[in-house]
């Protein structure tokens, strides 16, 4: 089979989730390109494209010819409003400019967003039809970037991922080992998705579009169990054998909501790690996927 018959994909901001997506699709005979500043960090299955999202000119190694799909999954390196705007709004705008410079019009753009666009904090159930009225600068900038994607010349879907965890993303484990306290009343709900499942959802969306399925403009990426944080912490304490508590008062999270994944599941996607228990058990067992 000629490589020209393979579907082609560009992953812009090809970090942890992007690299996992690249490996998954390369195993299905996709031709996958990945753009990031440090291409040495890319997996061997991904064709490297060195680039900086701050540049107006298209990178020299950007592929020439047909480009079927584009996934934008950049991560802000500067965690303030200017940094978020540079990564998500300006970065996406520059990427769309690169496509125009090369005369490319992908069949679909997937913009990886965040459930941080939802401001609900009373434990409400959230789906893609719920009001997204971000109060933080991060959520507001992400909504602006979503609008840029959806109003581009390319058919687009935004994928609002919840708290991503996995190997190398072990902040909560460290906190629990240090005796992390979290309020139990009222319960503080948190949403999460394992990095491998986040990549799997993106792969499902791309394969569905490739098969002619009409995609919605928005999907939430979350596992099956938006559990209360005190439940998660209690389970992790047992697994880690932690018996002490931090001297600090209980930590009160700002948000509390429960996200649904019914729309994603309707496409045939199912999380490999349906709850925090399976996901963290895999991490504690040293599994890298």
Q: What is the pLDDT of residues 149-176, one digit of tens each?
A: 999 999 999 999 999 999 999 899 999 9
Question: How far is CA 175 from its chain centroid?
Answer: 22
Q: How confident is the model at residue 182 (pLDDT cuts 50, 70, 90)?
A: confident
Residue 3: per-residue pLDDT: 43
Domain segments of the chain: what residues?
Answer: 3-164+193-224+258-272
Residue 83: per-residue pLDDT: 96
Tens of pLDDT, residues 203-225: 999 999 999 999 999 999 999 99
Q: Which residue reads 């490996």 in tokens?
A: 23
DSSP lists the bridge partners of residue 12 as 35, 72
Burial class (CB in 10 A: 0-12, 13-18, 19+), 3: exposed
Distance separating alpha carbons of residues 95 and 101, to the nearest angstrom = 10
Tokens at 280, concatenated: 């963290």
Residue 2 has pLDDT above 80, yes or no: no
Put simply, whether the predicted model's pTM sits higher than 0.85 gets the answer: yes
Q: How confident is the model at residue 250 (pLDDT cuts 50, 70, 90)?
A: low
Residue 188: per-residue pLDDT: 92
Q: How confident is the model at residue 95 (pLDDT cuts 50, 70, 90)?
A: very high
Q: How confident is the model at residue 253 (pLDDT cuts 50, 70, 90)?
A: low
The mean pLDDT of 257-281, rounded to a whole number, is: 98
Give the contacts of 249 (CB within 8 A, at least 6 positions apart): 181
Does the domain at residues 3-164+193-224+258-272 carry the CATH identifier 2.40.160.100?
no
Q: Which of 167, 181, 183, 164 is nearest to 236 (CA)?
A: 181
Tokens at 163, concatenated: 């708290």
Average pLDDT, the chain: 94
The mean pLDDT of 250-258, rounded to a whole number, is: 73
Percent of the chain residues topping a pLDDT of 90: 89
Tens of pLDDT, residues 101-152: 999 999 999 999 999 999 999 999 999 999 999 989 999 999 999 999 999 9
């Amino acid at each position: 089979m000629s490589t020209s018959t393979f579907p082609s994909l560009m992953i812009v901001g090809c970090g942890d989730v992007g690299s996992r997506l690249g490996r998954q699709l390369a195993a299905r005979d996709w031709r996958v390109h990945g753009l990031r500043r440090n291409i040495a960090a890319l997996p061997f299955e991904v064709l490297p494209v060195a680039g900086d999202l701050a540049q107006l000119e298209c990178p020299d190694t950007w592929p020439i010819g047909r480009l079927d799909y584009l996934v934008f999954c950049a991560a802000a390196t500067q965690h303030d409003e200017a940094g978020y705007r540079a990564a998500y709004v300006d970065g996406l705008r520059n990427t769309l400019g690169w496509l125009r410079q090369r005369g490319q019009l992908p069949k679909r753009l997937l913009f990886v967003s965040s459930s941080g666009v939802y401001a609900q904090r009373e434990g409400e159930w959230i789906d893609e039809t719920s009001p997204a009225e971000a109060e933080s600068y991060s959520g507001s900038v992400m909504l602006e970037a979503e609008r840029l994607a959806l109003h581009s010349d390319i058919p687009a879907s935004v994928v609002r991922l919840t708290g991503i965890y996995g190997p190398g993303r072990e902040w909560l484990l460290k906190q629990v080992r240090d005796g992390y306290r979290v309020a139990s009343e009222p319960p503080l709900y948190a949403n999460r998705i394992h990095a491998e499942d986040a990549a799997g959802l993106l792969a499902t969306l791309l394969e569905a579009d490739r098969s002619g399925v009409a995609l919605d403009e928005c999907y939430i990426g979350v596992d099956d169990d938006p559990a209360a944080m005190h439940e998660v912490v209690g389970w992790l304490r047992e697994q880690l054998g932690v018996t002490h508590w931090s001297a600090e008062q209980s930590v009160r999270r700002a948000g509390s909501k429960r996200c649904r994944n019914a729309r994603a599941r309707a496409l045939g996607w199912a999380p490999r790690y349906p709850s925090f228990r399976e996901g963290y058990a895999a991490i504690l067992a040293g599994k890298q996927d």
